[in-house]
């Protein structure tokens, strides 16, 4: 099939070896360092490559960052309906949440972040991703969206979700917000020697209890709570809250202990 050719550009060779993958996917894989030629990572799609070389994709991560693994757990555990939905990813960073949402069938994801050029190359070029960089979620209104999001996810760093959660919920068509809670950023009165690590379960309990109270005062209801399956990079335990704008009904999820018995739910999840 390749008689008479000793070398050809790596991208061209990959198209022959992996015909089931699109050219864009192969190109992105090379740039992201996912292609190994004879044991070495090659990141230039135009590199002349011997047609007899051993060319393979590395066994890559399922998602572009650890955030995808965290959200994937919650989507599966809570049976969140994502397929065909329009989602808002507040604090998208490299795109772990965005990647996870797309893999679960979201038709569009608005990737919002105050930073610039952080989003993974493959996601940046995905037609189902609307990149909104250098954008503070607090500055957005419904007018900024071509199609209103059905629901949102949030992973903010170096700030509380207070006020941000309420504002994000007002941008939606009426759906809920799945929010990753990082206790170290919700700690209003830490000890003088606080180094970014919340050391005890009791401290975490107090932080989350205070946060839930403040959210309720802002008009935000906590519907469900769970632990993240993965610790934060410094070892902090992280949590997921499902949030909605406050509604008349007092117990949207009967039997879970949430809204009616939120403190007992916190005790079970945080202290036990």
What CA–CA distance (Å, rounded) separates 154 from 177?
7
Confidence of residue 263 (pLDDT cuts 50, 70, 90): confident
172, pLDDT greater than 70: yes
> 151 near 88, Cβ under 8 Å?
yes
Cβ count near 156 (within 10 Å): 21
pLDDT tens readout for residues 58-80: 656 688 888 998 999 999 999 99
Structure tokens at 267: 């005790």
What CA–CA distance (Å, rounded) separates 77 from 242?
12
Percent of the chain with pLDDT over 90: 54
Structure tokens at 272: 């036990």
HEC-encoded secondary structure of 143-195: HHCCCCCCEEEECCCCCCCCCHHHHHHCCCCCCCEEEEECHHHCCCCCCCCCC
258, pLDDT greater than 80: no
pLDDT reported for residue 52: 84
Provide mean pLDDT across the span 42-57.
87
pLDDT reported for residue 163: 96
Confidence of residue 250 (pLDDT cuts 50, 70, 90): very low
pLDDT reported for residue 62: 82
Nearest 5°: phi and psi at 228? -75, 145
Provide mean pLDDT across the span 80-102.
97
pLDDT reported for residue 260: 55
pLDDT reported for residue 95: 96
Confidence of residue 102 (pLDDT cuts 50, 70, 90): very high
Cβ count near 235 (within 10 Å): 10
- Between 192 and 94, the more confident residue is 94
- How large is the angle between the packed helices 10-17 and 23-31, nearest 10 degrees? 130
pLDDT reported for residue 1: 43
What CA–CA distance (Å, rounded) separates 223 from 253?
7
Provide mean pLDDT across the span 254-262.
50
Domains of the chain: 7-57 (3.10.290.10), 66-271 (3.40.50.150)
pLDDT tens readout for residues 116-168: 999 999 999 999 999 999 999 999 999 999 999 999 999 998 899 999 999 99
pLDDT reported for residue 31: 79
Structure tokens at 148: 């209103």
Q: Across the chain, what does the average pLDDT equal?
A: 87
171, pLDDT greater than 80: yes
Q: Please, which residues have CB within 8 angstroms of residue 71's CB and are 6 or more apart in sequence?
A: 96, 97, 100, 101, 153, 178, 180
């Amino acid at each position: 099939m390749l008689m008479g050719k000793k070398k050809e550009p790596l991208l061209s060779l990959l198209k022959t070896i992996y015909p089931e993958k699109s050219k864009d996917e192969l190109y992105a894989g090379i740039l992201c360092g996912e292609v190994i030629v004879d044991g070495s990572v090659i990141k230039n799609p135009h590199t002349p490559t011997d047609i007899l070389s051993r060319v393979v994709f590395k066994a890559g991560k399922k998602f572009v960052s650890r955030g995808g693994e965290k959200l994937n757990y919650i989507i599966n555990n809570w049976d969140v309906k994502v397929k065909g939905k329009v989602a808002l990813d507040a604090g998208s960073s490299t795109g772990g949440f965005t990647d996870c949402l797309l893999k679960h069938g979201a038709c569009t994801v608005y990737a919002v972040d105050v930073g610039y050029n952080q989003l993974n190359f493959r996601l940046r070029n995905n037609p189902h991703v609307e990149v909104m960089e250098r954008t503070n979620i607090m500055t957005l209104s419904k007018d900024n969206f071509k199609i209103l999001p059905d629901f949102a996810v949030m992973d903010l760093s170096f700030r509380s979700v207070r006020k941000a959660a309420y504002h994000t919920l007002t941008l939606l068509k009426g759906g809920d917000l799945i929010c990753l809670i990082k206790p170290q950023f919700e700690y209003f009165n830490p000890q003088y020697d606080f180094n970014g690590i919340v050391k005890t379960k009791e401290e975490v309990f107090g932080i989350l209890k205070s946060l839930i109270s403040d959210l309720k005062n802002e008009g935000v209801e906590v519907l469900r709570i769970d632990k993240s399956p993965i610790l934060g990079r410094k070892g902090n335990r992280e949590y997921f809250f499902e949030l909605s704008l406050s509604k008349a009904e007092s117990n949207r999820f009967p039997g879970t202990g949430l809204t009616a018995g939120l403190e007992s739910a916190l005790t079970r999840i945080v202290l036990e």
